[in-house]
Amino acid sequence: MKTKPRSKADPIERQIESAFRPETFIRDGECFSFVSGLEEVAAVIDALAATDPARAVALYGAFLAGCHAKADELDDSSGSFAQFYRDLVCKWIKCRPATGADPHKTASTLLVWMADDPYAFCYRIEKDAAAAFDKAGLAAFEMQVRERFDAAAADPSSWTYRRTAQILREIYIAQKDIHAYVELAEQTELKPEDCLAIAKMLVRMKPNEALGWVERGRILDQETQFRSTVAYSLDELHRELLSKLGRADEALAEAWDDFRKHPSKFTYDDLMKFVPTTERTTWHEKALNAASGADLHSLLELFTETEEMERLADLVRKSSDEALEKVSHFATELAAKRLEKNHPGLAARLWRAQGMRILDAKKSKYYNAALSNFEQARDCYQRAELATEWEQTVRWVCRSHYRKTGFISGFQALAAGSQRSEPPSFLEHANTRWGERHGRDAC
């Protein structure tokens, strides 16, 4: 019996297959560079979309199939591979109309992929997909999703009903169909995020109506046990609309009230957006004076952000080592860098706190970072002529953490005065090995 001859493969398919590195497991730490390699091949296909869309569509399809085949051979904890898949789907959608493809077939195929999604590659893809469809494709997508939604309406608690309602919301936003969105939201239970979405569609042409929806969303949010994920966005848009409608005093009063309740660099930035230029100095002082009761993390960030170095120095001076060690390095690292020039002794305490925080948490994977922190602390103590404080730190660390063998030898070298060097990069290490095997002039 004769077998059917295999059709000639597109040469780009061989590039796709090579990029997938078949039968090779991709660890989490390797996934980003692995996906970068896939993106390089995808870019070759992107270039074909304008001149040979049919070929590009076929190659996108092959790429998507390859993603499913590769899914069990990699750790995508970062989510970069799934995002690459979603981007490919959107490129496939955009390319299909140029081939004369039936928009209903495109929509139905996408819905099949979304339903048969064992690796959750299509999770929340509807927003990007709706933006990728042209007008005809989006109408076809809306019609098919609506059919599924109406069929499931007999059981509003069903997953299909809730899922199709979610997809329809994104379609109506893409279509800028405010009426359809409002009707759907009220049919399926209006939520704060619906009010925000409707307000955003109205904000440019009908700011008064947008303000009404924002205020409705804020009321709904206040009725819930916990603040919704869009609460901050509702508050922010509310102030922007007040300002746009000539009610700047109200926007400023609201931003001030929010800052006093939650002093931070973020609420400070929000406040200053609504402060008249001529009054910024006054409001700046007023805000920083009102922030005195905030938590240590927020104050460190606020004083660093506003370049209030003396306030920052005074805050660190009054804080105990134990309190500083509980603060995230996101706040203490930048503060330490800002204080190094004029207040090296205080900067040393912040660097020390970061190192101690890592050791106390027993985060062995960050011991190199801890050593770097202690090196910075040592150097700052020396510039501040506070040798005794550094010696106390050395005694404490050696006594309390001597069992951390992956750390203590490096720390003892620091204590003896050695300078740490950054570990060699991959290429530096590779070049060293190459030189040892083939001679320094081999390249």
Asked if 303 and 266 touch (Cβ cutoff 8 Å), the reply is: no
Residue 384 carries which DSSP code?
T
Q: Which residues, including other chains, have CB under 8 Å from residue 142's CB and lie 6 or more apart?
A: 168, 171, 172, 175
Residues paired with residue 74 on neighbouring β-strands, in sequence order? 26
Please state whether 158 falls in left (phi above 0), alpha (psi between -120 and 50) or beta: beta
Give the CA count within 13 Å in the CB-facing half-sphere of 165.
21
pLDDT by 10-residue block (mean), the chain, 443 residues: 60 94 92 95 95 96 95 94 97 97 97 96 96 98 98 95 97 97 96 97 96 97 88 96 97 96 95 96 96 94 96 97 95 96 97 95 90 95 95 94 90 83 55 59 50
Residues paired with residue 437 on neighbouring β-strands, in sequence order? none
Q: Which residues, including other chains, have CB under 8 Å from residue 70's CB and lie 6 or more apart?
A: 20, 22, 26, 81
Q: How many CB atoms lie within 10 A of CB 195?
A: 27
Domain extent listing, the chain: 308-422
Give the pLDDT score at 21: 95
| Separation of alpha carbons 283 and 324, rounded Å | 28
Residue type, 409: S
Q: Is 312 exposed, middle or buried (0-12, 13-18, 19+ CB in 10 A)?
A: buried
| Separation of alpha carbons 66 and 7, rounded Å | 18
Asked if 88 and 122 touch (Cβ cutoff 8 Å), the reply is: no
